[in-house]
Amino acid sequence: MNSRKEKTFSEVYKEFITSQTAKGISETSIRNYHQVLHNISKFFDIEIPLDI
């Protein structure tokens, strides 16, 4: 068994948003990212661990 904790898509997304906010990405871009996540979540369970 792999000892590393697998992250969910949602967790990776939150880390991405945090990093983009720290870089000073515009609020419009952040809103667009949230919309994309919302659209993805209609088709995929974003809480299932990723095997990466």
Per-residue pLDDT of the chain (52 residues; tens, 9 = 90+): 455 678 998 999 999 999 999 999 999 999 999 999 999 999 999 998 987 6
Alpha carbons 29 and 17: distance in angstroms, whole number: 10
Position 42 scores a pLDDT of 95
pLDDT score, position 5: 76
Q: Give the phi and the psi of residue 49 in degrees, each rounded to 5.
A: -60, 140
Q: Give the per-residue pLDDT at 1.
A: 45
**What pLDDT is recorded for position 43?**
94
Structure tokens given for 47: 């809480």
